[in-house]
Chains A and B, each alone.
Chain A
Amino acid sequence: QLQLQESGPGLGKPSETLSLTCTVSGGSISSSSYYWGWIRRPPGKGLEWIGSIFYSGSTYYNPSLDSRVSMSVDTSKNQFSLKLSSLTVADTAVYYCARHVRYHNHPNWFDPWGQGTLVTVSS
């Protein structure tokens, strides 16, 4: 059974860079059937897709975050990572990693998801 687990600091300061890692267990991150994605949920708001990465390093980013987002993959550790720069309080959210299922050669729905990690941006 595939499982994903987010890790990283729970607190960040404005203008700094957030770094999160997602560790995948129970399956290989190097499968051609999946991308791997990050999604967040700010307090009291809905879900927002941040970006997705293929094991080869190919990425899609949300255009509204594109200038601040960077994702990478480490197949040897079965992990993928997110960096979000120039943090503001609006980046406070629960951050989830998820498997982005590929169908007809492009990513579609997300399944399964990690438990999520709360990141608070505050000075």
Chain B
Amino acid sequence: DIQMTQSPSSLSASVGDRVTITCRASQGINNYLAWYQQKPGKAPKLLIYAASTLQSGVPSRFGGSGSGTDFTLTISSLQPEDVATYYCQNYNNALTWTFGQGTKVEIK
């Protein structure tokens, strides 16, 4: 199975800061990666698919990049409403779909 490892597991940043979350796959997955945001008590929401394509309606301060094994989710200017846990998800394997362990983002 392909393992997805996110770092850091949590971070605290100030409003307006640039925030970067990393996701590493245990083997190459091309650009078959999605990012989700889960706010406390809410369902996960798709932010990005195909590593860098922003889902409709997602603010442009969110961006994704990477290919192969290393991927990043960037929030260009952190806002209070971005407090959430963020997950990456691999869909390269045709038979299983795996998530990273999550990165919790808080406001300093």
A62 within 8 A of B: yes
- Chain B residues 19 to 78 lying within 8 A of chain A, measured CB to CB, are 32, 34, 36, 42-46, 49, 55
Taking the closest CB of chain A, its distance from the CB of B11, in whole angstroms, is: 16
Using C-beta atoms within 8 Å of the partner chain, give the interface range for chain A: 20 to 34
Could you tell me if A115 and B43 are in contact, using CB atoms closer than 8 angstroms? yes
Which residues of chain B are near A62, meaning CB under 8 Å? Answer: 96
Partner of A96 from the list B1, B43, B91, B98 (CB cut-off 8 Å) is: B43
| Chain A neighbourhood of B1, CB < 8 A | 63
Which chain B residue lies CB-closest to A63? B96
> B94 touching A106 by the CB < 8 A rule?
yes
| Interface size band for B | 20 to 34
In the complex, number of A-B residue pairs with CB atoms less than 8 Å apart: 59
Q: Mark A98-112, 1 if CB is under 8 A from B, else 0.
A: 100100001111111
Task: Check B91–A108 contact: CB distance below 8 A.
Answer: yes
Cα A101 to Cα B89 in complex, Å, equals 13
A114 touching B46, Cβ below 8 Å? no
A-B contact pairs, 24 of them (CB 8 A): A46-B87, A46-B99, A46-B102, A47-B89, A47-B99, A48-B99, A49-B96, A49-B98, A52-B97, A60-B95, A62-B96, A96-B43, A106-B94, A107-B91, A107-B97, A108-B32, A109-B89, A110-B44, A110-B89, A111-B46, A112-B45, A112-B46, A113-B45, A116-B43
